[in-house]
Structure 1
Amino acid sequence: MTEPDLHRDRRRALSFGAIADAYDALRPRYSSVTVDAVCAAGDRVLDVGAGTGILSRQLRSRGASVLAVEPDPAMAEIVSGSGIPVEVATFEDWDAAGRVFDLVTFGQSFHWVDASAAIPRLASLVSPGGRVVLLWNKLRPSRPSNDELRSASSDYVNVDAVSSDPTHADFALAELSRRFADAGFAVTQREDSWVETQPADRWLDLIFTYSAHSTLPAERRAAMRAALAAVIGDDDVVIDASTIALIATR
Protein backbone atom coordinates (compact mmCIF):
# COMPACT_ATOMS: atom_id res chain seq x y z
CA MET A 1 0.00 0.00 0.00
CA THR A 2 2.60 2.52 1.01
CA GLU A 3 6.15 1.99 -0.10
CA PRO A 4 8.09 5.00 1.19
CA ASP A 5 8.15 7.85 -1.35
CA LEU A 6 6.71 5.61 -4.07
CA HIS A 7 4.89 8.64 -5.43
CA ARG A 8 8.29 10.08 -6.39
CA ASP A 9 9.03 7.18 -8.73
CA ARG A 10 7.38 8.63 -11.81
CA ARG A 11 8.90 5.96 -14.05
CA ARG A 12 6.85 3.34 -12.25
CA ALA A 13 3.85 5.61 -11.84
CA LEU A 14 3.67 6.25 -15.58
CA SER A 15 4.62 2.74 -16.66
CA PHE A 16 1.05 1.49 -16.96
CA GLY A 17 0.21 3.19 -20.24
CA ALA A 18 2.34 0.69 -22.12
CA ILE A 19 0.15 -2.14 -20.84
CA ALA A 20 -3.15 -0.26 -20.62
CA ASP A 21 -5.25 -2.83 -22.49
CA ALA A 22 -3.95 -5.75 -20.43
CA TYR A 23 -4.41 -3.74 -17.23
CA ASP A 24 -8.04 -3.03 -18.07
CA ALA A 25 -8.79 -6.63 -19.03
CA LEU A 26 -6.98 -8.38 -16.19
CA ARG A 27 -7.03 -6.24 -13.08
CA PRO A 28 -9.71 -7.45 -10.64
CA ARG A 29 -12.81 -5.37 -10.08
CA TYR A 30 -13.55 -4.13 -6.58
CA SER A 31 -15.98 -6.09 -4.44
CA SER A 32 -19.53 -5.13 -5.39
CA VAL A 33 -20.41 -5.27 -1.69
CA THR A 34 -17.76 -2.66 -0.94
CA VAL A 35 -18.74 -0.39 -3.82
CA ASP A 36 -22.41 -0.60 -2.82
CA ALA A 37 -21.45 0.41 0.72
CA VAL A 38 -19.50 3.53 -0.25
CA CYS A 39 -21.42 4.87 -3.27
CA ALA A 40 -24.98 6.10 -3.60
CA ALA A 41 -27.01 7.03 -6.68
CA GLY A 42 -26.62 10.72 -7.41
CA ASP A 43 -23.20 11.05 -5.77
CA ARG A 44 -20.83 13.53 -7.38
CA VAL A 45 -17.65 11.46 -7.51
CA LEU A 46 -14.03 12.33 -8.22
CA ASP A 47 -12.01 9.19 -9.01
CA VAL A 48 -8.32 10.02 -8.60
CA GLY A 49 -5.65 7.96 -10.32
CA ALA A 50 -8.46 6.33 -12.24
CA GLY A 51 -6.23 4.16 -14.40
CA THR A 52 -8.36 2.69 -17.18
CA GLY A 53 -11.57 3.50 -15.29
CA ILE A 54 -12.24 0.16 -13.62
CA LEU A 55 -13.56 1.76 -10.42
CA SER A 56 -15.02 4.72 -12.32
CA ARG A 57 -17.25 2.37 -14.30
CA GLN A 58 -18.34 0.51 -11.19
CA LEU A 59 -19.30 3.81 -9.56
CA ARG A 60 -21.16 5.02 -12.64
CA SER A 61 -23.14 1.79 -12.79
CA ARG A 62 -24.57 2.71 -9.38
CA GLY A 63 -25.93 6.01 -10.63
CA ALA A 64 -23.05 8.27 -9.62
CA SER A 65 -21.82 11.19 -11.70
CA VAL A 66 -18.12 10.46 -12.10
CA LEU A 67 -15.18 12.66 -13.06
CA ALA A 68 -11.87 10.82 -13.46
CA VAL A 69 -8.38 12.25 -12.99
CA GLU A 70 -5.52 10.20 -14.44
CA PRO A 71 -1.94 11.27 -15.23
CA ASP A 72 -1.18 8.68 -17.94
CA PRO A 73 -2.68 9.69 -21.31
CA ALA A 74 -2.88 6.10 -22.57
CA MET A 75 -4.82 5.01 -19.50
CA ALA A 76 -7.01 8.12 -19.67
CA GLU A 77 -7.88 7.31 -23.27
CA ILE A 78 -9.57 4.09 -22.16
CA VAL A 79 -11.51 5.98 -19.49
CA SER A 80 -12.67 8.50 -22.07
CA GLY A 81 -13.64 5.72 -24.47
CA SER A 82 -16.08 4.40 -21.86
CA GLY A 83 -17.88 7.76 -21.83
CA ILE A 84 -16.58 8.98 -18.48
CA PRO A 85 -15.10 12.49 -18.49
CA VAL A 86 -11.41 12.44 -17.60
CA GLU A 87 -8.87 15.16 -16.94
CA VAL A 88 -5.21 14.24 -17.53
CA ALA A 89 -3.11 15.39 -14.59
CA THR A 90 -1.45 14.25 -11.42
CA PHE A 91 -3.52 14.93 -8.32
CA GLU A 92 -0.90 17.44 -7.19
CA ASP A 93 -1.19 19.45 -10.44
CA TRP A 94 -4.92 18.98 -11.07
CA ASP A 95 -7.02 22.15 -10.92
CA ALA A 96 -10.23 21.61 -8.96
CA ALA A 97 -11.55 24.95 -10.22
CA GLY A 98 -13.70 25.31 -7.12
CA ARG A 99 -15.50 22.02 -7.60
CA VAL A 100 -16.54 19.90 -4.61
CA PHE A 101 -17.67 16.28 -4.48
CA ASP A 102 -19.75 13.95 -2.34
CA LEU A 103 -17.18 11.17 -2.76
CA VAL A 104 -13.51 11.14 -3.71
CA THR A 105 -12.06 7.70 -4.46
CA PHE A 106 -8.56 6.31 -4.91
CA GLY A 107 -8.75 2.80 -6.36
CA GLN A 108 -5.33 1.18 -5.95
CA SER A 109 -3.79 4.63 -6.42
CA PHE A 110 -3.26 6.46 -3.14
CA HIS A 111 0.35 5.26 -2.94
CA TRP A 112 1.04 7.30 -6.10
CA VAL A 113 0.29 10.60 -4.35
CA ASP A 114 2.10 12.45 -1.59
CA ALA A 115 -0.11 11.74 1.42
CA SER A 116 1.23 14.70 3.40
CA ALA A 117 0.00 17.07 0.69
CA ALA A 118 -3.04 15.10 -0.50
CA ILE A 119 -4.88 14.63 2.80
CA PRO A 120 -5.16 18.35 3.69
CA ARG A 121 -6.27 19.09 0.14
CA LEU A 122 -8.96 16.42 0.25
CA ALA A 123 -10.67 18.20 3.14
CA SER A 124 -11.42 21.07 0.74
CA LEU A 125 -12.69 18.81 -2.03
CA VAL A 126 -15.49 16.97 -0.24
CA SER A 127 -18.76 18.53 0.79
CA PRO A 128 -19.82 18.42 4.44
CA GLY A 129 -20.64 14.79 5.21
CA GLY A 130 -18.74 13.72 2.10
CA ARG A 131 -16.33 10.79 2.02
CA VAL A 132 -12.84 10.03 0.84
CA VAL A 133 -12.50 6.30 0.16
CA LEU A 134 -9.19 4.55 -0.42
CA LEU A 135 -9.58 1.10 -1.96
CA TRP A 136 -7.13 -1.75 -2.49
CA ASN A 137 -7.61 -5.25 -3.84
CA LYS A 138 -5.56 -7.82 -1.96
CA LEU A 139 -4.82 -11.00 -3.90
CA ARG A 140 -3.12 -13.79 -2.00
CA PRO A 141 -2.64 -17.10 -3.83
CA SER A 142 -3.38 -20.10 -1.64
CA ARG A 143 -2.69 -22.79 -4.29
CA PRO A 144 0.21 -22.75 -4.86
CA SER A 145 1.10 -20.89 -1.69
CA ASN A 146 2.84 -17.54 -1.57
CA ASP A 147 5.83 -19.21 0.01
CA GLU A 148 6.11 -21.64 -2.90
CA LEU A 149 5.87 -18.84 -5.43
CA ARG A 150 8.31 -16.63 -3.55
CA SER A 151 10.87 -19.42 -3.40
CA ALA A 152 10.65 -19.88 -7.16
CA SER A 153 11.85 -16.40 -8.11
CA SER A 154 13.71 -13.65 -6.32
CA ASP A 155 11.72 -11.14 -8.39
CA TYR A 156 8.36 -12.41 -7.18
CA VAL A 157 6.42 -9.91 -5.09
CA ASN A 158 3.11 -11.01 -3.63
CA VAL A 159 0.28 -9.47 -5.66
CA ASP A 160 -1.13 -7.93 -2.54
CA ALA A 161 -1.97 -4.28 -2.78
CA VAL A 162 -1.57 -3.72 0.91
CA SER A 163 1.64 -5.59 1.66
CA SER A 164 3.05 -9.07 1.75
CA ASP A 165 3.88 -8.31 5.39
CA PRO A 166 0.69 -8.23 7.51
CA THR A 167 2.44 -6.23 10.22
CA HIS A 168 3.33 -3.53 7.72
CA ALA A 169 -0.21 -3.60 6.33
CA ASP A 170 -1.73 -3.03 9.75
CA PHE A 171 0.73 -0.24 10.46
CA ALA A 172 0.12 1.48 7.13
CA LEU A 173 -3.66 1.44 7.56
CA ALA A 174 -3.34 2.69 11.12
CA GLU A 175 -1.00 5.48 10.04
CA LEU A 176 -3.29 6.59 7.21
CA SER A 177 -6.28 6.48 9.57
CA ARG A 178 -4.41 8.68 12.03
CA ARG A 179 -3.50 11.19 9.34
CA PHE A 180 -7.08 11.48 8.13
CA ALA A 181 -8.35 11.81 11.70
CA ASP A 182 -5.85 14.60 12.33
CA ALA A 183 -7.27 16.38 9.27
CA GLY A 184 -10.77 16.29 10.76
CA PHE A 185 -12.19 13.14 9.19
CA ALA A 186 -14.06 10.33 10.94
CA VAL A 187 -12.40 7.11 9.79
CA THR A 188 -13.68 3.56 9.44
CA GLN A 189 -12.36 0.49 7.63
CA ARG A 190 -13.93 -2.54 6.02
CA GLU A 191 -12.76 -5.64 4.19
CA ASP A 192 -14.94 -7.78 1.92
CA SER A 193 -13.54 -11.12 0.84
CA TRP A 194 -14.06 -13.73 -1.85
CA VAL A 195 -12.22 -16.69 -3.38
CA GLU A 196 -11.59 -17.09 -7.08
CA THR A 197 -9.80 -19.54 -9.35
CA GLN A 198 -7.86 -18.48 -12.41
CA PRO A 199 -6.08 -20.46 -15.14
CA ALA A 200 -2.33 -20.26 -14.69
CA ASP A 201 -1.71 -18.22 -17.84
CA ARG A 202 -4.31 -15.63 -16.91
CA TRP A 203 -2.90 -15.24 -13.41
CA LEU A 204 0.63 -14.90 -14.80
CA ASP A 205 -0.61 -12.25 -17.24
CA LEU A 206 -2.26 -10.45 -14.32
CA ILE A 207 0.81 -10.22 -12.11
CA PHE A 208 2.75 -8.59 -14.92
CA THR A 209 0.32 -5.66 -14.85
CA TYR A 210 1.81 -4.64 -11.47
CA SER A 211 4.64 -2.14 -11.80
CA ALA A 212 7.10 -4.09 -9.63
CA HIS A 213 6.97 -6.81 -12.30
CA SER A 214 6.10 -4.97 -15.51
CA THR A 215 9.13 -2.67 -15.20
CA LEU A 216 11.62 -5.52 -14.88
CA PRO A 217 14.00 -6.01 -17.83
CA ALA A 218 12.53 -8.33 -20.45
CA GLU A 219 14.88 -11.22 -19.70
CA ARG A 220 14.06 -11.11 -15.98
CA ARG A 221 10.33 -10.98 -16.70
CA ALA A 222 10.67 -14.05 -18.90
CA ALA A 223 12.74 -15.92 -16.32
CA MET A 224 10.31 -15.03 -13.54
CA ARG A 225 7.30 -16.16 -15.57
CA ALA A 226 8.96 -19.46 -16.44
CA ALA A 227 9.91 -20.11 -12.81
CA LEU A 228 6.42 -19.38 -11.54
CA ALA A 229 4.80 -21.44 -14.30
CA ALA A 230 6.93 -24.40 -13.29
CA VAL A 231 5.62 -24.17 -9.71
CA ILE A 232 2.00 -23.89 -10.84
CA GLY A 233 2.23 -26.69 -13.38
CA ASP A 234 -1.07 -27.73 -14.95
CA ASP A 235 -3.17 -26.55 -12.00
CA ASP A 236 -5.27 -23.42 -11.73
CA VAL A 237 -4.32 -20.74 -9.22
CA VAL A 238 -6.63 -20.37 -6.23
CA ILE A 239 -6.72 -16.82 -4.86
CA ASP A 240 -7.94 -15.58 -1.50
CA ALA A 241 -9.04 -12.07 -2.48
CA SER A 242 -10.50 -9.09 -0.70
CA THR A 243 -11.24 -5.43 -1.19
CA ILE A 244 -9.98 -3.26 1.65
CA ALA A 245 -11.54 0.18 2.12
CA LEU A 246 -10.48 3.06 4.32
CA ILE A 247 -13.46 5.41 4.56
CA ALA A 248 -12.84 8.95 5.79
CA THR A 249 -15.97 11.08 6.32
CA ARG A 250 -15.72 14.81 6.63
Structure 2
Amino acid sequence: MPTLSPKQPDPARPHQARQTAESFGADARRYDQARPGYPDDLVARVVAGSPGPVVLDVGCGTGIAARQFQAAGCAVLGIEPDPRMADLARSRGLRVEVATFEAWEPAGRVFDAVVAAQSWHWVDPAVGAVKAAEVLRPNGRLAIFGHVFEPPAEVAEPFAAAYRRVAPDSPFARQPARRPLETYQAGYARVADALRETERFDEPEQWRFDWERSYTRDQWLDLLPTTGGLTRLRPDQLAGILDAVGHAIDALGGRFTMRYTTLATTAVRVGASGSAAA
Protein backbone atom coordinates (compact mmCIF):
# COMPACT_ATOMS: atom_id res chain seq x y z
CA MET A 1 0.00 0.00 0.00
CA PRO A 2 2.61 2.58 -1.05
CA THR A 3 1.68 6.24 -0.96
CA LEU A 4 3.01 6.63 -4.46
CA SER A 5 0.45 4.27 -6.00
CA PRO A 6 -1.28 5.96 -8.94
CA LYS A 7 -4.81 5.15 -10.07
CA GLN A 8 -4.84 5.11 -13.86
CA PRO A 9 -5.83 2.93 -16.83
CA ASP A 10 -2.23 2.19 -17.82
CA PRO A 11 0.13 1.55 -14.87
CA ALA A 12 3.11 2.02 -17.20
CA ARG A 13 2.16 5.66 -17.84
CA PRO A 14 1.06 7.20 -14.55
CA HIS A 15 2.15 10.66 -15.73
CA GLN A 16 -0.82 10.62 -18.13
CA ALA A 17 -3.34 10.25 -15.28
CA ARG A 18 -3.52 13.97 -14.61
CA GLN A 19 -6.82 13.84 -12.72
CA THR A 20 -5.27 11.55 -10.15
CA ALA A 21 -1.93 13.36 -10.17
CA GLU A 22 -3.70 16.59 -9.29
CA SER A 23 -6.31 15.13 -6.92
CA PHE A 24 -4.23 15.27 -3.74
CA GLY A 25 -4.99 18.95 -3.22
CA ALA A 26 -8.66 18.19 -2.51
CA ASP A 27 -7.66 18.15 1.16
CA ALA A 28 -4.22 19.70 1.12
CA ARG A 29 -4.18 20.38 4.86
CA ARG A 30 -4.90 16.73 5.72
CA TYR A 31 -2.21 15.67 3.25
CA ASP A 32 0.33 17.96 4.87
CA GLN A 33 -0.49 16.85 8.40
CA ALA A 34 -0.85 13.10 7.79
CA ARG A 35 1.88 12.28 5.30
CA PRO A 36 5.22 11.25 6.79
CA GLY A 37 8.42 13.15 6.19
CA TYR A 38 11.65 11.68 4.87
CA PRO A 39 14.64 10.22 6.72
CA ASP A 40 17.01 12.92 7.96
CA ASP A 41 19.90 10.76 6.77
CA LEU A 42 18.57 10.91 3.19
CA VAL A 43 18.26 14.72 3.27
CA ALA A 44 21.74 15.07 4.76
CA ARG A 45 23.23 12.76 2.16
CA VAL A 46 21.69 14.71 -0.74
CA VAL A 47 22.90 18.02 0.72
CA ALA A 48 26.41 16.71 1.36
CA GLY A 49 26.60 15.25 -2.13
CA SER A 50 25.57 18.45 -3.94
CA PRO A 51 27.88 21.31 -4.95
CA GLY A 52 25.79 23.98 -3.22
CA PRO A 53 22.55 24.72 -1.35
CA VAL A 54 20.20 25.72 -4.20
CA VAL A 55 17.49 23.04 -4.60
CA LEU A 56 14.62 22.55 -7.04
CA ASP A 57 11.82 20.37 -5.64
CA VAL A 58 9.80 18.80 -8.48
CA GLY A 59 6.18 18.16 -7.55
CA CYS A 60 6.72 19.67 -4.11
CA GLY A 61 3.11 19.23 -2.98
CA THR A 62 2.58 20.98 0.32
CA GLY A 63 6.33 21.18 0.86
CA ILE A 64 6.94 18.27 3.22
CA ALA A 65 10.36 17.44 1.75
CA ALA A 66 11.12 21.06 0.82
CA ARG A 67 10.82 22.18 4.44
CA GLN A 68 13.29 19.49 5.47
CA PHE A 69 15.79 20.76 2.91
CA GLN A 70 15.18 24.32 4.11
CA ALA A 71 15.88 23.21 7.68
CA ALA A 72 19.16 21.72 6.41
CA GLY A 73 20.21 25.16 5.13
CA CYS A 74 19.06 24.98 1.52
CA ALA A 75 17.34 27.60 -0.62
CA VAL A 76 14.43 25.70 -2.16
CA LEU A 77 12.18 26.47 -5.12
CA GLY A 78 9.16 24.22 -5.50
CA ILE A 79 7.37 23.30 -8.72
CA GLU A 80 3.80 22.08 -8.17
CA PRO A 81 0.96 21.67 -10.71
CA ASP A 82 -1.88 21.89 -8.15
CA PRO A 83 -2.55 25.49 -7.01
CA ARG A 84 -4.18 24.25 -3.79
CA MET A 85 -1.06 22.37 -2.75
CA ALA A 86 1.13 25.27 -3.85
CA ASP A 87 -0.88 27.73 -1.77
CA LEU A 88 -0.42 25.65 1.37
CA ALA A 89 3.30 25.30 0.70
CA ARG A 90 3.58 29.06 0.30
CA SER A 91 1.74 29.56 3.59
CA ARG A 92 4.57 27.57 5.19
CA GLY A 93 7.20 29.93 3.81
CA LEU A 94 8.18 28.18 0.57
CA ARG A 95 8.69 29.68 -2.87
CA VAL A 96 6.52 27.75 -5.32
CA GLU A 97 5.76 28.13 -9.02
CA VAL A 98 2.62 26.45 -10.37
CA ALA A 99 3.37 24.21 -13.35
CA THR A 100 4.09 20.66 -14.34
CA PHE A 101 7.81 20.01 -14.57
CA GLU A 102 7.44 19.34 -18.28
CA ALA A 103 5.86 22.78 -18.91
CA TRP A 104 7.84 24.76 -16.34
CA GLU A 105 10.13 27.45 -17.73
CA PRO A 106 13.47 27.63 -15.88
CA ALA A 107 14.33 30.98 -17.52
CA GLY A 108 18.04 30.26 -17.36
CA ARG A 109 18.07 29.28 -13.71
CA VAL A 110 20.25 26.36 -12.58
CA PHE A 111 20.36 24.37 -9.36
CA ASP A 112 22.78 22.42 -7.21
CA ALA A 113 20.24 19.66 -6.63
CA VAL A 114 16.95 18.58 -8.16
CA VAL A 115 14.82 16.42 -5.89
CA ALA A 116 11.52 14.65 -6.42
CA ALA A 117 9.86 13.27 -3.30
CA GLN A 118 7.03 10.87 -4.04
CA SER A 119 6.38 12.66 -7.34
CA TRP A 120 8.62 11.45 -10.17
CA HIS A 121 6.08 8.87 -11.38
CA TRP A 122 3.85 11.83 -12.36
CA VAL A 123 6.60 13.22 -14.68
CA ASP A 124 6.82 12.14 -18.31
CA PRO A 125 9.88 9.83 -18.31
CA ALA A 126 10.80 10.94 -21.85
CA VAL A 127 11.15 14.53 -20.60
CA GLY A 128 12.01 14.44 -16.91
CA ALA A 129 15.56 13.12 -16.82
CA VAL A 130 16.74 15.33 -19.71
CA LYS A 131 15.13 18.45 -18.25
CA ALA A 132 16.62 17.73 -14.82
CA ALA A 133 20.06 17.51 -16.42
CA GLU A 134 19.49 20.82 -18.21
CA VAL A 135 18.74 22.72 -14.99
CA LEU A 136 21.51 21.16 -12.88
CA ARG A 137 24.95 22.69 -12.48
CA PRO A 138 27.91 20.46 -13.38
CA ASN A 139 28.24 17.96 -10.53
CA GLY A 140 24.71 18.81 -9.39
CA ARG A 141 22.71 15.94 -7.97
CA LEU A 142 19.34 14.53 -9.02
CA ALA A 143 17.64 12.59 -6.21
CA ILE A 144 14.36 10.77 -6.82
CA PHE A 145 12.91 9.12 -3.73
CA GLY A 146 9.75 7.90 -2.06
CA HIS A 147 8.31 5.64 0.59
CA VAL A 148 7.31 2.03 0.24
CA PHE A 149 4.98 0.78 2.89
CA GLU A 150 2.92 -2.35 3.14
CA PRO A 151 0.76 -2.50 6.29
CA PRO A 152 0.60 -5.77 8.21
CA ALA A 153 -1.59 -8.39 6.55
CA GLU A 154 -4.17 -7.90 9.33
CA VAL A 155 -4.68 -4.35 8.03
CA ALA A 156 -3.84 -4.73 4.33
CA GLU A 157 -6.21 -7.62 3.62
CA PRO A 158 -9.36 -5.96 5.01
CA PHE A 159 -8.41 -2.83 3.07
CA ALA A 160 -8.08 -4.77 -0.19
CA ALA A 161 -11.34 -6.67 0.38
CA ALA A 162 -13.22 -3.45 1.12
CA TYR A 163 -11.75 -1.76 -1.94
CA ARG A 164 -12.82 -4.61 -4.19
CA ARG A 165 -16.31 -4.39 -2.71
CA VAL A 166 -16.88 -0.63 -3.02
CA ALA A 167 -14.88 0.11 -6.20
CA PRO A 168 -14.77 -3.11 -8.24
CA ASP A 169 -14.02 -1.30 -11.50
CA SER A 170 -10.96 0.54 -10.19
CA PRO A 171 -7.48 -0.65 -11.21
CA PHE A 172 -6.74 -0.79 -7.47
CA ALA A 173 -9.36 -3.50 -7.03
CA ARG A 174 -7.17 -5.84 -9.07
CA GLN A 175 -4.04 -5.31 -7.00
CA PRO A 176 -2.88 -7.77 -4.33
CA ALA A 177 -3.28 -6.79 -0.70
CA ARG A 178 0.48 -6.62 -0.20
CA ARG A 179 3.33 -6.43 -2.70
CA PRO A 180 6.99 -7.34 -2.23
CA LEU A 181 9.65 -4.67 -1.85
CA GLU A 182 11.29 -5.99 -5.01
CA THR A 183 8.34 -4.62 -7.03
CA TYR A 184 9.27 -1.08 -6.01
CA GLN A 185 13.00 -1.63 -6.26
CA ALA A 186 12.43 -2.62 -9.88
CA GLY A 187 10.66 0.70 -10.45
CA TYR A 188 13.62 2.65 -9.09
CA ALA A 189 15.94 0.54 -11.24
CA ARG A 190 13.95 1.67 -14.29
CA VAL A 191 14.48 5.28 -13.20
CA ALA A 192 18.21 4.58 -13.13
CA ASP A 193 18.01 3.16 -16.65
CA ALA A 194 16.31 6.35 -17.85
CA LEU A 195 19.10 8.43 -16.34
CA ARG A 196 21.75 6.30 -18.04
CA GLU A 197 20.01 6.72 -21.39
CA THR A 198 20.46 10.50 -21.25
CA GLU A 199 24.27 10.09 -21.03
CA ARG A 200 24.25 13.22 -18.87
CA PHE A 201 24.73 11.61 -15.47
CA ASP A 202 27.36 9.56 -13.71
CA GLU A 203 26.40 6.00 -12.84
CA PRO A 204 23.21 6.17 -10.73
CA GLU A 205 23.19 4.96 -7.13
CA GLN A 206 20.41 3.19 -5.29
CA TRP A 207 19.89 4.19 -1.64
CA ARG A 208 17.68 2.51 0.93
CA PHE A 209 16.53 3.67 4.37
CA ASP A 210 14.51 1.42 6.69
CA TRP A 211 12.53 2.85 9.58
CA GLU A 212 9.34 2.36 11.58
CA ARG A 213 6.39 4.40 12.75
CA SER A 214 3.57 3.46 15.10
CA TYR A 215 0.04 4.44 14.06
CA THR A 216 -3.11 4.65 16.11
CA ARG A 217 -6.42 3.85 14.45
CA ASP A 218 -7.24 7.54 14.02
CA GLN A 219 -3.80 8.42 12.66
CA TRP A 220 -3.96 5.73 10.00
CA LEU A 221 -7.51 6.59 8.98
CA ASP A 222 -6.37 10.21 8.64
CA LEU A 223 -3.57 9.23 6.27
CA LEU A 224 -5.45 6.75 4.07
CA PRO A 225 -7.68 9.32 2.29
CA THR A 226 -4.54 11.13 1.08
CA THR A 227 -3.33 8.14 -0.96
CA GLY A 228 -3.76 7.92 -4.70
CA GLY A 229 -6.21 5.04 -4.66
CA LEU A 230 -8.67 6.92 -2.44
CA THR A 231 -8.49 10.59 -3.38
CA ARG A 232 -11.12 10.26 -6.13
CA LEU A 233 -13.58 7.88 -4.47
CA ARG A 234 -17.11 8.97 -3.56
CA PRO A 235 -17.66 9.77 0.14
CA ASP A 236 -19.73 6.62 0.64
CA GLN A 237 -17.02 4.45 -0.95
CA LEU A 238 -14.33 6.04 1.19
CA ALA A 239 -16.43 5.59 4.33
CA GLY A 240 -16.86 1.88 3.60
CA ILE A 241 -13.11 1.36 3.26
CA LEU A 242 -12.25 3.37 6.36
CA ASP A 243 -14.84 1.50 8.40
CA ALA A 244 -13.37 -1.88 7.42
CA VAL A 245 -9.80 -0.76 8.12
CA GLY A 246 -10.83 0.82 11.42
CA HIS A 247 -12.37 -2.45 12.62
CA ALA A 248 -9.20 -4.30 11.61
CA ILE A 249 -7.00 -1.93 13.64
CA ASP A 250 -9.37 -2.18 16.59
CA ALA A 251 -8.83 -5.94 16.52
CA LEU A 252 -5.08 -5.29 16.86
CA GLY A 253 -5.61 -3.25 20.00
CA GLY A 254 -6.12 0.09 18.31
CA ARG A 255 -2.65 0.59 16.85
CA PHE A 256 0.04 -1.09 14.75
CA THR A 257 3.64 -0.54 13.66
CA MET A 258 4.35 0.34 10.04
CA ARG A 259 7.70 -0.71 8.64
CA TYR A 260 8.73 1.85 6.05
CA THR A 261 11.41 1.61 3.39
CA THR A 262 12.42 4.82 1.64
CA LEU A 263 14.07 4.14 -1.70
CA ALA A 264 16.08 6.61 -3.76
CA THR A 265 17.69 6.69 -7.17
CA THR A 266 20.31 9.42 -7.38
CA ALA A 267 22.95 10.51 -9.86
CA VAL A 268 25.38 13.36 -10.43
CA ARG A 269 25.18 15.58 -13.50
CA VAL A 270 28.24 15.62 -15.73
CA GLY A 271 29.30 18.02 -18.48
CA ALA A 272 28.43 21.67 -19.09
CA SER A 273 25.35 23.43 -17.78
CA GLY A 274 23.91 26.93 -17.52
CA SER A 275 25.27 29.75 -15.43
CA ALA A 276 22.42 31.84 -14.02
CA ALA A 277 21.60 31.53 -10.34
CA ALA A 278 18.15 30.41 -9.24
Does the alignment reach a TM-score above 0.5?
yes
Secondary structure in 2 matching 1:208: helix
The residue number in structure 1 matching 2:27 is 19
User: Post-superposition shift, 1:76?
Assistant: 0.5
Structure 2 distance, partners of 1:135, 1:200, is 27
Structure 2 distance, partners of 1:152, 1:70, is 32
Distance change (3 Å), C-alpha of 1:143 and 1:194: farther
Could you tell me which of 180, 183, 197 is aligned with 2:198? 183
Q: Which moved more, 1:86-95 or 1:173-182?
A: 173-182
Could you tell me which of 63, 67, 87 is aligned with 2:73? 63
The residue number in structure 1 matching 2:274 is none
The residue number in structure 2 matching 1:142 is 152
Q: Do the aligned residues in 2 keep the contact of 1:143 with 1:239 (CA within 8 Å)? A: no
The residue number in structure 1 matching 2:262 is 243
The residue number in structure 2 matching 1:206 is 223
User: Post-superposition shift, 1:17?
Assistant: 1.6
User: Post-superposition shift, 1:164?
Assistant: 3.0
The residue number in structure 1 matching 2:272 is none
Secondary structure in 1 matching 2:37: coil
User: Post-superposition shift, 1:145?
Assistant: 5.0
Structure 2 distance, partners of 1:80, 1:148, is 38
Q: Do the aligned residues in 2 keep the contact of 1:153 with 1:228 (CA within 8 Å)? A: no
Q: Percent sequence identity over matched residues? A: 34
Structure 2 gaps, min length 5: 270-278
- How well do the aligned residues superpose, as a CA RMSD in angstroms? 2.1
**TM-score in terms of structure 2 length:** 0.82
**Deviation readout 1:171-205 (Å, 9 max, x if unpaired):** 22221111101212220011111111111111011
Structure 1 gaps, min length 5: none
**TM-score in terms of structure 1 length:** 0.91
Q: Partner amino acid for 2:141?
A: R
Structure 2 distance, partners of 1:70, 1:153, is 29
Structure 2 distance, partners of 1:167, 1:241, is 14
Could you tell me which of 78, 83, 94 is aligned with 1:84? 94
Distance change (3 Å), C-alpha of 1:178 and 1:188: same
The residue number in structure 2 matching 1:194 is 211
Distance change (3 Å), C-alpha of 1:18 and 1:221: same
Secondary structure in 2 matching 1:76: helix
**Deviation readout 1:64-83 (Å, 9 max, x if unpaired):** 11111111111101111122
User: Post-superposition shift, 1:143?
Assistant: 6.8
**Deviation readout 1:12-33 (Å, 9 max, x if unpaired):** 1111221100000000000111
* Poorly superposed stretches of 4+, deviation over 4 Å: 155-158
User: Post-superposition shift, 1:148?
Assistant: 5.1
The residue number in structure 1 matching 2:42 is 34
User: Post-superposition shift, 1:150?
Assistant: 3.0
Q: Do the aligned residues in 2 keep the contact of 1:144 with 1:238 (CA within 8 Å)? A: no
User: Post-superposition shift, 1:105?
Assistant: 0.5
**Deviation readout 1:24-81 (Å, 9 max, x if unpaired):** 0000000111111111494110001000000110001011111111111111011111
Written as runs of structure 1 = structure 2, the 5 A alignment for 1:219-238 is 219-233=236-250, 234-238=253-257
